[in-house]
Structure formats: structure tokens, C-alpha cells
Structure 1
Amino acid sequence: MDNSWKRKFSIIWAGQFISLISSSAVNFAIIIWLSLEKGSAEVLAFAAIAAMLPQAIIGPIAGVYVDRWDRKKTMIFADGFVALCTLVMSISFYLGYESLLLIYVMLALRSVGSSFHMPAMQSSIPMLAPESELLRVSGINQIIQSVSTIAGPALGALAIGLLSIGNVLLLDIIGAIVAIVSLLFVHIPNPQVAEKSKASIQQVIQDIKIGFREITRNKGVSWMFFYSILATFCIMPVAVLFPLLTIQHFGGGKFEMSLIEIMWGVGMLVGGSLLGIFKPSISKIVIINCMQIILGITFSLSGYISSSAFIFFVVLTGIGGVAASIYNASFTTVLQEQIKPEMLGRVFSMYFSVAIFPSIVGLMSSGFVSDAIGINLMFIILGSIVAFIGIVSFFTPSLMKLK
């Protein structure tokens, strides 16, 4: 593989960077608009579920087609479809039609587009970068996502203050166009696929089974998936409750909530930068396990500390962001190294689906559970479970044998 892969990644990253920031800004602007116009936590929860549930449901099916289709074209059409859905929302606002049902439907359709784009993007990386550079590439991807996490909400808040919601939505369309144009300037090779005929329902089911067997054939990867599922079920409800912990326990307001969100993004930026600059010599599985332990400890301590220790909470949030960033990048790299390139699309789709379901469970149940046992105790319990999972992982021989 020649050195041209760096130039290709630079072009792709530039387009994705603009697209991620614009999408983050628009998503945050929609949250602000719904909060101001509807003033209902239930409305926000349904909007979040609409934006995530389709990915969880059709993710494995989308992965089958991602592995059979041209991945560059898949990303282009997925970006275009998401932009089209955003345009429909924007036009409806211009016409004064502000139906919640329409917003839910468009958010769901945007999610469908994302369910094809994310696995296509992740499964394209091993086809462009040398295996020795995959962890560093994942680190840089984390940097891009972290910057969008930091800058997106700030841009969204500014935009919704200066523009109408219909005009703010146009930012997402501009970002999608930039991402599509950047992809036109690069060639992304596709892996050799034995079967390229049109996928019938039976063939789709068969391909999903093949993707599942690709995971289970490697005991180490199977255990990594299993532990990740358990950890995600604990992490996602905690993530949903961060604003409530900030308000109810630490007595914070909008500024404090924004500060916590920004600190998490800064932590992710630092974590991604560390992987982008340095090339760790230790096993990526050891890194994953250690990051789970650190992340769990930060959650538990956040629920344990006094309400007067808000600064300590801010620091813990930043450390948690670092751990989450390094964990995600290392996990992604292990999959890219262990799974055959022609199987990566469906495997990543399964992973994204598995990761989204706990988010939905957290959104539906976090309010009820936190009212029953208290937000602080929920942070302590779930954080302890995440740390325990990281410790147990060290005592799983097949997992520790992975590089």
C-alpha cells in the first residue's frame, strides 16, 4: 500500500469534519427548539428514540447491503438521503407546518440513512489505511468527532439565536454537500465478494447469519462483543442522566450543563489526540479493559462526591471523556483487524444496533429508575458494574490473546 492513503484520508476527513459539525449543530438546535416550543421531556425522549430506533432495527440488514454495494456510492447516497430529509423539515417550517409527527418521521428517516453511512465509512477504513496505522486513524476519527461534540452545540445555540429553525436546518444540508463532494475526489476500493447478485430476503437472512458466525468463530471477539454489550447497557442510561445529576445534585443550570458537555468533548479530543500522536506498544485489549475500569470509576465517583464538589465533577467528566474516546478507538481497531474486510459492513452494523438499543432503554427507563433509587445511587451502581466488567475482562483468556 502506497503513501497516497494519507492524502485520501485528508480529503475524506475534511468533508466528514464539516458534515459532523453541521449535523451536531442542527441536532442541538432541534433540541433547543423543542425545549422552548414544547417544554416537554417526553417530547425530547420521543425525538431521541425516533432518531436512534431505526438504526437499531435495520442496522444488521443495512450491513448486508453495505458489504455487497460499492461503499463510496453507499456513503454518497446515504448523505444525500439524510440531506433530503432535512430539506423536507426545513420546507415544512418555512410553510408554518410544525407537526411533531413530521419531525419524528423525518428524524427516523435520517436515522435510516445513517444506518447505511456509518458501517460503510468504518468498513472502508481498512481498505485505505495500512493495518499498522488503524489505531492511529481511529484516534484521529475520535478527534474529529470530539471537536464536533464541542463546537456543534455552541454553533447550534448561536444559530438558533440568530436564525429561524428552518434556516438552521440548512446548515446540515450544506455539510452533507461538502461531504459528498469530498468523496467524489477519492477512490475507495471494495473487497472481493464471492456473491454479488441481488440479495433476496432469504439471502439477507443468510448473510446476517454469516456475519454473526464471523463474530462467534473468534472466541476473543465474541467475549469482547459480550462485555461491550453489558457495559453499554450501563453507560447509556448514565449518559442520559448527566444533565439531571448536574441540575438536581450539584444545583447547576444551563451554564453548568454546557460546561459538562464541553468537558466530555474536550476529554474525547484529548483521548483521540493521544492515539493520533502516539502509537501504544501494549495490547489494545489491555487498553480497552483499563479504559472500562477508569470510565466506571469516574461514573461512580460522580455519584458519590458531595454536591459542593462541582469542580471535581467537571474533572471526572473530562477524564471519562478521555477513557471513552480511547476505548471506542481501540474497540473499533480490534474489529477492523480481526474481521475479514468483506464482512466488516454487517459486523459494524450489528455493533451499532447493539449500542443503540441500550440508549433507547435508558431514555425510556432512566427517569423512572432514578426517581425510585436516586440519581446518585444509579451513577454509583452502574459505574461500579462498568468497572467490574473491565476487571473481569482481564481474566478471560481467549480475549486477552487478541492483539
Structure 2
Amino acid sequence: MAKLSLSSPTLLHSVSIATNPPLLLQRNFGIIWWSQLISQIGDGVTKLALLWFVYAVTGSALQTTIIGILQTLPPIVLGPFIGVFIDRFPKKIILIGTDLIRALVIGVIPCLVSHEAFTVEFLYVLVFCNAVATSLFAPALFASIPFIVEKSALTAANALLQSTMSLGVIFGPLLSGLGIALLSSQEVLCINVLTYIGSALLLVFVSIPEVTHRAKTFRNSLINYVKDLQEGIQFTFFQQPVIVPLMLTAGLYSFVMSAFHTLLPVFGRNMLKFGPVEVGYVTSGVGVGLFLASLFLAKVNLGAQWRRIRLLATTSLMAAFALWALTGAAGLPLSLAIVVVIGMGSGVLTPIEWGIIQEISPPQLIGRVLALYGTLAMLAAIGGMTMFGWIMEQFGEIWTLLGMGAVLLITSQVAFKLSHRVRSHSNLD
């Protein structure tokens, strides 16, 4: 049986990392945070504008959902290979390049195409290209963090980056909606090119150290590319026993929360008997909870890994009870408060788990590990949306929420057991 290793790789210590100043005041991380904030707001604008355009042209909910499918496919199909790419090439170049690609396919091209030629099919091609670039950006970003942030600050750094996502969810659709009302969805996409270009320009000033032996190990053949992928799989699933349980908890959480986010408007309308305004308030509660969790993790140093995993287990249990409580909620204030709690539970998982993976993964493998982690979480998300969508159609909203809570209860137990295991090995060391 593989030994449970909890220490960071020695190679990581060869990287020069800034110390002492607060994260947002550290030059490299501060620039990345502002770049991400601009980019996430741009993503929020893009998502609503794309969905609005397709539905306005076709009037078909099915064709509109194809946008979601096209955005999901690249991370699943290309995820493991993307990890190899990230470990081979300079991460700064990947981050800038993917921002510029997104600016081109979602901003520049729509500006150059006439209204008559800008068909739904053409838009689908652009969405797919944008999804490929996005599936490169996220793991490259988080694979860069261990090179510019102290090990003890990784969870806080991930939480601060997650806060940009929650702010993007809050402000992106608002700006997009205003733009669509005043202009058109196509013109909103044109203007939104500025967010991605702005993000890329900021990233030019970031310094991301690379592993010094990269040039000696750079290989281009397909055979060696596959060998690199096998190396990542071997480490992830067989050499580092902590990662698989973390992936299991992430998969279970994604299984539930992706479905909950998708079906929340249905819960609000059919079960809680809310109108569109109230449903909007409740939906925003998820983003509020996510933001509060991000602020907490950015401020509080939880220390040992087992403590962080214990918090993950506790918040999973809390979210399970909140899902069950939602079945009996009455009125907007109580429903909103419950949804905020659910959002807080969701906001704890990613910064903690990615922080631990960043700590224990060798620098030359971190892109592959994070990409594999993300791919499995995405697969679980699709499975959750499919399963709970079927449960809702067959048995109704209450049984759906009860099932979601049951899965999160299992998630909390898996995390509690992992925290005990990590703690016992830490005491032995």
C-alpha cells in the first residue's frame, strides 16, 4: 500500500516565493486577482449574451441548452491532455494566449460578422472554440499559484480567486442584461472583448517561475505525450493516496451542486411558489454564500490539512441539512437564508481541495493532477444534472432535495474519515 504523503515536494522549494505582504498586495498574485476579476465579469457577460441570442433567434430551449453542452465537452474530452500541455509549456503564455483567443472568438469575430451571417450554427462553433480556450485557462491558472504564493497561503489564494468568480456571477449578468436592453446581444459580445484584452494585458506584467529543468525534458512526440499522461495518472491514482478521496468528495459535491444550481429556478417556481423576481433573489443567494465562504477562507488560516478537510466535512453536513430544510421553507427571507448556507458549503470545497493538491503535487506534475481532478468533477456534474433532473420529473421537487441532501451526507462522511486518516498520519510523522 502506498504511503500517505502530506508534505510538499522538494522541487517546490527551489521556486522563489514572496513572503510577508498580504496576498492582494503581493505583486504577482495581486495582478492575477485583478486580471481574474475582469475576466470573470467578462465570462458572466458572455454567458447571458450567448444564451439570450440563441433563444431570441430560435425560441427553442433545446437549442439553447446546446450552449451548455458545448461548454462542457472540451474539459471532459481534452482535460487529461490539457494537463500535459500545461506542464510542458510556460503557464504565463498559456494564460495570455487563452485570454486573447477568447477575445477573438467571442468579441472580435462577432463584431466583423453581419447580422444576417451571424447564425446560431456559426455561434455554436465560436462557443466550442471559446470552451476549449477556457478549459485551458482554469487549470493553468491554479497550477501557477504554488509558484507565486507560500504553501501556507494556498487555500487563502484559491479562496480569493474564487471570490472573483462570485463577483463575476453577480455583476456579469447585470451588465450583460443592461447591454442587451440598450443595444443587442451581438453588440454586447463585441464590447465584451475589452474584458479579455484587459485581462491579457495585466497578465503580461506577471512573473511566474517555471521548473528549471523544463527545457531538458521538453518532448514533442505523441508517444512521449502519452507517457506524460500516464505519469500524471500514476501519481494521481496510485502514488498519492490523499488525492483519490479528495476527488471522490469533489465528485459527490459536483454531482449535487451542479444539479441544484440548474434546478434552483424550478424549485423556486414550483415548490416555493415564487415569481421571477423572488426566484432571482434566491438564485443570487448562492453567489452570496460563495462569496462569504471565500472571504472566510481568505482571512482564516486553518493550518493543518486535516483541519481543512474537517471544515469541508462540516460544511458538507451543514449543506445537507440546509437542502432538507429547503423542502419546508416558507417565505422569501427564510428561503434566501437557506440558499446562502448552501452556497457557503459549496464555496468551501474548491479552495481547500485545490490548496491541498497544490501542496502535495510535484511542480512538474501539477497541471496534470489538477486537470484530472477537474475532468472527473465535470463528469460527476453532468451525471448529477441528468439523474436529479430525472428524479424531479418522476418524483417531484421534495424528493429531489432529499436525494441531494443524502448525497452530501455521504460526502461529509467521506471527508470526516479522510480527516481522521490524515491526522493520524500527521501524528505519526
> Shorter-chain TM-score category?
over 0.9
Q: Deviations for 1:358-403, whole angstroms, at most 9, x for unmatched residues? A: 3333455554432112122111112211122212332345455577
In the alignment, the residues of structure 1 paired with residue 181 and residue 248 of structure 2 have an alpha-carbon distance, to the nearest angstrom, of: 44
- Report how far residue 272 of structure 1 moved: 0.8
SS in 1 for 2:73: helix
TM-score, normalised to structure 2, is 0.87
- The aligned residue for residue 328 of structure 2 is 305
Deviations 1:329-369 (A, max 9, x none): 11111111111121111111112212222333345555443
Deviations 1:172-217 (A, max 9, x none): 3111111111111121111245653333222222212211122221
Q: CA RMSD in A?
A: 2.2
In the alignment, the residues of structure 2 paired with residue 322 and residue 58 of structure 1 have an alpha-carbon distance, to the nearest angstrom, of: 30
Instruction: Name the structure 2 match of 1:121.
Output: 141
Counterpart of 1:140 in structure 2 is: 160
Residue in 1 that maps onto 2:4:
none
Structure 2 counterpart of 1:209, one-letter code: Q
Confirm or deny that 1:16 pairs with 2:36: yes
1:209-220 superposed matches below 5 A:
209-216=230-237, 217-220=239-242
Alignment of 1:63-82 (within 5 A): 63-82=83-102
Question: Where in structure 1 are there 5+ consecutive unaligned residues?
Answer: none
- Map residues 134-173 of structure 1 onto 2, 5 A cutoff: 134-173=154-193
Alignment of 1:248-327 (within 5 A): 248-281=270-303, 283-302=307-326, 304-306=327-329, 308-327=330-349
Q: Which amino acid aligns with 2:367?
A: G
Question: Counterparts of 1:158 and 1:354 in 2: how far apart (Å)?
Answer: 36
| 1:222 is aligned to 2:244 | yes
User: Aligned letter for 1:382?
Assistant: M
The SS at the match of 1:29 is: helix
Q: Secondary structure at the match of 1:328?
A: helix
2:363 alignment partner, one of 337, 341, 348: 341
Q: 1:392 to 1:14 in 2, by over 3 A?
A: closer
What letter matches 1:278 in structure 2?
Answer: V
**Using the alignment, how far apart are the partners of 1:123 and 1:233 within structure 2?**
24
Q: Distance in 1 between matches of 2:137 and 2:424?
A: 32
Percent of residue pairs identical: 22
Aligned length: 401
Offset, 1:129: 0.7
Which of 218, 233, 244 does residue 266 from structure 2 map onto? 244
1:203 corresponds to: 224
Distance change in 2, residues 1:231/1:325 (3 Å): closer
Separation in 1, partners of 2:85, 2:333: 47
How many angstroms does 1:219 deviate by?
1.4
CA distances 1:63-117 after superposition (whole Å, capped 9, x unpaired): 1011000110011111111111113651476332242222222111111101211
Instruction: Tell me the amino acid that sits aligned with residue 305 of structure 1.
Output: G
Contact 1:49 1:360 in 2 (8 A): no
CA deviation after TM superposition for structure 1 residue 47, in Å: 1.0
Shift of 1:281: 4.0
1:61 Cα shift?
0.4
Cα separation, partners in 2 of 1:365 and 1:222, compared to 1, 3 Å: closer
Q: Is the contact made by 1:143 and 1:273 (CA closer than 8 Å) also made in structure 2?
A: yes
